[in-house]
Chain A
């Protein structure tokens, strides 16, 4: 008898916390602009967190929107959600697809239903006539900006350590391209080329730089394709007693505009950071409100900040993730 009760209690102990997670739906009806947003989950990255947050604040009732949102990393769930929104008769459908393919039917049915589709952050492999517009970051542009900075501000001869993110991802390909081109053109030398493999991990970046140091390689700039990897690379330099940053031997550039990275740049601990802007919502809202929707792929303008150009306002406005505070270095 006791045992039975014990078992029941155990079952409850396991089930109850999950039940708490089940949220409740919302209902709203009015003359608001109806928008369906299909996005990836915020826990995917700091980038996505800022992205989802911007969607929530911009497409709010106060701004005249009736927005419904689905955040999932599963492509088939995304497609199901998109179809649901089309059935609900939304005016605009905003999509950041988990997978670039498999969307043709959904986009066509949106077109026949008169729903305007706007892609953000990620494009979809389909005929351009299947969607109205796409607002994305141009990774190749980011790579070019960063490489130009390397070519202009690192002393010759440039010996670069390239730390790539997840191989084959759009960000990795785009951000690597300009550096590899510059090497082919003989403008710089890549002395070590490493990757996080399947991830963007700090540990892997650290190992790449440690291996380069152990092999006795001489280098004067580290080009890390996200902020976490730049952080790992700098940790390796610190442990080896190699100077870096504003007055140091090795220049450091990261990507993504995490606030901790921008504070490091501000303090001269790193040298530069390249933006990858997750806040497409404001721009898209501007398009919708003005009634003038562009067509085709639109690229966002993005910033590159250095120790000289960075300000508190810019960090506050464009940074993502937690801010460690002015003057605090994240080692």
Chain B
């Protein structure tokens, strides 16, 4: 019960931001939640958001772990995904007949490539103690050239039915495939976090590496591990992105997505200097950003001003999210709650179970 309460207060920020956006959208038009069936798949604003945010959500999960343990951010995620998906495309195009097995094999190979990239970044950060942002800057700078070379200096085309179905809809399923893949990925991450000590280890390393080491947790290993996971996340996101696009464009694929991913982690109520984290918050944060992008389009903000509007929105969100405002809001909320409880006590005469804690709080204040 207590844990649940703690989590809800943690998620207060991302959820409130999302609710705010939903309200704005509903004011603009009551048809916001309308869903229709097109080609056997659900279609509407909400499926569009789920579809559009799939890569961002997956990358945000990895980013949350990296942020927690390494106290910094991986800014090479979009580029890593571009490299891994280039390898995927290279494999699939050279495998001859495209079957579900070649796609799967290509995916696994791209995951291995993701692990290699993660290991490269991870070694720089954990062994050589390079700041994460600097370490990953190397790939951010040079990675797209590497992907370009893998592509054979062209934008190879993935024009086959299986890729197309992965990027759109598999006949018979009511949801677009990227949405299903993202949901699967989230489930896998949830199971891993539930069954392993990863969360505890990552958080303790992020809060205080020396203390973690004294307690038998090797910070190097944990930081390295989070970068490996980040690498796999990049590979999965790259896989989805390239199948959506049907073409490998090493210049534009997932460009600037690290900005949104870092933002999603922050909106999710996570500290960007590591420590405790909430994956749920980050995921909601990622969907919120996608919703924000589309809200601006829905409001028909002038084309030239759209980025500025996004920035203003984000500033407002971050100020609202800042600890200063949060503490203030919590105090105000407590006060309202206790005074309400007081009124309830007076009205009913006898305190109910739920009101007991409230009376305690107001009693304390009088002392």
Judging by beta carbons under 8 Å apart, are B250 and A239 in contact?
no
Q: In whole angstroms, what is the CA distance A194 to B255 when docked?
A: 18
Judging by beta carbons under 8 Å apart, are B303 and A195 in contact?
yes
Nearest Cβ in chain A — how far from B121, in angstroms? 11
Given contacts A49-B153, A214-B45, A321-B154, contact A208 B247 (CB under 8 A): no
B306 at the interface (CB under 8 A from A): yes
- B300 partner residues in chain A, CB cutoff 8 A: 192, 215
Judging by beta carbons under 8 Å apart, are A201 and B252 in contact?
yes
A156 at the interface (CB under 8 A from B): no
- A260 partner residues in chain B, CB cutoff 8 A: 155, 157, 159, 247
Candidates B31, B153, B247, B307; contact of A231 at CB < 8 Å? B247
Q: In whole angstroms, what is the CA distance A228 to B241 when docked?
A: 14
Judging by beta carbons under 8 Å apart, are A239 and B43 in contact?
yes
Interface residue total, chain A, C-beta cutoff 8 A: 48
- B250 partner residues in chain A, CB cutoff 8 A: 43
Stretch at the interface among B184-192, B291-299, B347-355: B291-299
Candidates B31, B48, B159, B252; contact of A330 at CB < 8 Å? B159
A240 at the interface (CB under 8 A from B): yes
- B155 partner residues in chain A, CB cutoff 8 A: 46, 258, 260, 321-322
Q: Mark B15-46, 1 if CB is under 8 A from A, else 0.
A: 00000000000000101000000110101110
A128 at the interface (CB under 8 A from B): no
Candidates B45, B144, B156, B293; contact of A322 at CB < 8 Å? B156
Nearest Cβ in chain B — how far from A143, in angstroms? 16
Which A residues from 57 to 96 make CB contacts under 8 A with B? none
A329 at the interface (CB under 8 A from B): yes
Given contacts A210-B48, A322-B154, A331-B164, contact A199 B252 (CB under 8 A): yes
Q: In whole angstroms, what is the CA distance A203 to B247 when docked?
A: 13
Nearest Cβ in chain B — how far from A303, in angstroms? 21
Judging by beta carbons under 8 Å apart, are B145 and A331 in contact?
no
Q: In whole angstroms, what is the CA distance A235 to B52 when docked?
A: 12
A114 at the interface (CB under 8 A from B): no
B127 at the interface (CB under 8 A from A): yes
Judging by beta carbons under 8 Å apart, are B298 and A211 in contact?
yes
Given contacts A42-B153, A207-B52, A260-B157, contact A231 B252 (CB under 8 A): no
- B124 partner residues in chain A, CB cutoff 8 A: 14
A238 at the interface (CB under 8 A from B): yes
B74 at the interface (CB under 8 A from A): no
- A235 partner residues in chain B, CB cutoff 8 A: 168, 244
B366 at the interface (CB under 8 A from A): no
Q: Mark A161-173, 1 if CB is under 8 A from B, else 0.
A: 0001001000000
Which B residues from 106 to 132 make CB contacts under 8 A with A? 120, 123-124, 127
Given contacts A207-B52, A238-B168, A239-B43, contact A46 B255 (CB under 8 A): no
- A27 partner residues in chain B, CB cutoff 8 A: none
Which of A216, A330, A331 counts the most chain B CB atoms within 10 A? A331
A45 at the interface (CB under 8 A from B): yes
- A167 partner residues in chain B, CB cutoff 8 A: 303-304
A100 at the interface (CB under 8 A from B): no
Judging by beta carbons under 8 Å apart, are A329 and B159 in contact?
yes
B176 at the interface (CB under 8 A from A): yes
Which of A43, A45, A200, A208 counts the most chain B CB atoms within 10 A? A43
Judging by beta carbons under 8 Å apart, are A207 and B38 in contact?
no
Q: In whole angstroms, what is the CA distance A44 to B293 when docked?
A: 26
Q: Which residue of A lies closest to B119 (CB)?
A: A13
- A207 partner residues in chain B, CB cutoff 8 A: 52, 293-294, 297
Given contacts A10-B127, A240-B38, contact A43 B159 (CB under 8 A): no
Judging by beta carbons under 8 Å apart, are B29 and A215 in contact?
yes
Judging by beta carbons under 8 Å apart, are B249 and A202 in contact?
yes
B91 at the interface (CB under 8 A from A): no
Nearest Cβ in chain A — how far from B366, in angstroms? 54
- B255 partner residues in chain A, CB cutoff 8 A: 198-199, 201
A197 at the interface (CB under 8 A from B): yes
Nearest Cβ in chain B — how far from A199, in angstroms? 5
Given contacts A199-B255, A199-B256, contact A330 B52 (CB under 8 A): no
A248 at the interface (CB under 8 A from B): no
Nearest Cβ in chain A — how far from B271, in angstroms? 28
Q: In whole angstroms, what is the CA distance A201 to B78 when docked?
A: 13
Q: In whole angstroms, what is the CA distance A10 to B294 when docked?
A: 45
Judging by beta carbons under 8 Å apart, are A195 and B306 in contact?
yes
A296 at the interface (CB under 8 A from B): no
Judging by beta carbons under 8 Å apart, are A239 and B176 in contact?
yes
Judging by beta carbons under 8 Å apart, are A211 and B38 in contact?
no
Which of B48, B52, B168 counts the most chain A CB atoms within 10 A? B48
Judging by beta carbons under 8 Å apart, are A194 and B303 in contact?
yes
B133 at the interface (CB under 8 A from A): no
Judging by beta carbons under 8 Å apart, are A239 and B247 in contact?
no
Which A residues from 145 to 161 make CB contacts under 8 A with B? none
B174 at the interface (CB under 8 A from A): no
Nearest Cβ in chain B — how far from A26, in angstroms? 20
- B31 partner residues in chain A, CB cutoff 8 A: 216
Q: Mark B44-59, 1 if CB is under 8 A from A, else 0.
A: 1100100110000000
Judging by beta carbons under 8 Å apart, are B307 and A197 in contact?
yes
Q: In whole angstroms, what is the CA distance A42 to B155 when docked?
A: 12
Q: Besides the contacts A14-B123, A240-B38, A322-B152, what 19 more A-B pairs have beta carbons closer than 8 Å?
A: A43-B153, A43-B251, A45-B251, A49-B154, A197-B306, A197-B307, A207-B294, A211-B297, A214-B45, A228-B252, A235-B244, A238-B168, A239-B43, A241-B39, A258-B155, A321-B154, A321-B155, A322-B156, A331-B164
> Could you give 24 example pairs across A and B, Cβ below 8 Å?
A43-B144, A43-B250, A46-B249, A164-B303, A195-B306, A197-B306, A198-B307, A199-B252, A199-B256, A201-B252, A201-B255, A202-B249, A206-B52, A208-B297, A214-B48, A228-B247, A228-B249, A231-B247, A239-B41, A239-B43, A239-B176, A322-B157, A330-B247, A331-B246
Closest 10 CB pairs of A and B: A211-B297, A43-B148, A324-B157, A241-B38, A322-B154, A201-B252, A43-B145, A328-B159, A321-B155, A193-B303
